[in-house]
Amino acid sequence: MNDKYISIITNFGCHYTCPYCIVKNNNLNIPKTTINGLDSLWLETVRNQCNWISLSGGGDPLWHYSEHKDWYDKFFEITEDLNRELHTSLPNVPGVPYEAFDRVVYHLHSLEQLYNIKRQNCAIVRVVFVVTENFTEDLINRIAVFCANSDDIDELSFRHMVDNHYQETYYFYEYLKAGHKKLWWYIEQNDYNLYYCQNKVYTEYKNIGR
Ligand code: SF4
């Protein structure tokens, strides 16, 4: 069976400090996350033949984690037999059972943030940088060297940025393509996944909640 992902789009809120945040700038109307919003998750996962569940946002899934433990308890129960992935910008949140995820993906925007990334018993740790106009080739290289030498980080990706009007930007495109599958992965933005949000399934992120 090929891997197929269903991405749960949560909205617990966020710090809204990532410089490329389209959630904040587009006033996306992503519904607030509720426990009842998990009711159709198992059915939709089976119906769509997905073997990976990815937690993402609409906000950061770990925002105010301690207030949402009941939601996580139900999530872990429903997804017991599936592979789990977590997308977050928040490292080392107290109480999070990182070992319950098969992959944790940290979304970062500065070299310094790498210093805070710890494996926390997770099988695979990936870091992703959205490439903005403030990057340089030197910065890209320093990030790559840090990740290659880190025992806490297994995978490094760079992704091109989508602006406030859902248009792709291609800073350092040729440079990043040249290093693809050698020093890093270069991801071109696409709607790769199915999105699940509050019992509904979507195929395009921008349509969630509309
Ligand atoms: S984690 Fe996501 S929602 Fe939060 S500020 Fe960063 S890009 Fe925006």
pTM of the complete model: 0.94
pLDDT at 22: 76
Decide: 24 in ligand 1 pocket, CB within 6 A. Answer: yes
Cβ-contact 155, 126 below 8 angstroms: yes
pLDDT digits (tens, 9 = 90+) for 106-135: 999 999 999 999 999 888 999 999 999 899
In the numeric block, the tokens 């310094």 are attached to 112
Q: Give the CATH class of 5-207.
A: alpha beta
Domain ranges across the chain: 5-207
Alpha-carbon gap, residue 130 to 107, rounded angstroms? 8
3-state secondary structure of 72: helix
Please give the number of the atom of ligand 1 that sits closest to the Cα of 14: 4
Task: Please identify which residue in the block is written with the tokens 């098969």.
Answer: 102
**Residue 38: pLDDT over 90:** yes
- Ligand 1 neighbour 22 (Cβ under 6 A): no
